[in-house]
Amino acid sequence: MAILEIIEVPHPILAARAREVREDEFGEALATHLSNMAETMYAAPGVGLAAPQVADGRRILVVDPGFEGEDGDEQKGQDLHKMVNPRIVQKSSETILWEESCLSVPEMTIEVKRHRKIVVGWRDPYGEAQEKVFEEFSAVVLQHEMDHLDGVTLLERTSRLKRSRYLKRQKKLQR
């Protein structure tokens, strides 16, 4: 397995809508790439990672909402989902506020309103159709990662002033 580089805002791929995975892309190479993404997510440590965050413009993501970081290795992989072309099939009208952070927007945490329950349909790396209900934290993680596939980061969910301040601060840190 390989650990991939996680890119950060304002990289342009993070602002672009990811493309659907084509039929000829399903198979072993895609499965390996998704495994590398999962290892990258665990190493970060994180509970979700979308392809644009590793400079891949396709609609793929990995999530493991049961993973609790470095101290939670025993949970690692127990709730891992490798999703290709995921879509929300159904969402509850009930919402929750959740404090979110992001591997591509380091040192920023904001509250985001999300659907409490969603049904997601996707295909696995070999093309098999899957569907599952996600609730609470798991639903929040999925919605956050699916935002990345649509070119939306936490920066787009905050005020213009906070966004501007954040980007200025990050620019200073990079010097």
Residues with active-site annotation: 145
Task: In whole angstroms, give the CA distance from residue 160 to residue 137.
Answer: 27
- Pairwise CA distance, residues 87 & 131, whole Å: 10
DSSP conformation letters of 23-90: GGG-SHHHHHHHHHHHHHHHHTT-SEEEGGGGT--BSEEEE-TT--GGGGGGGTTTT-EEEEEEEEEE
Q: How far apart are CA 154 and CA 109, in angstroms?
A: 8
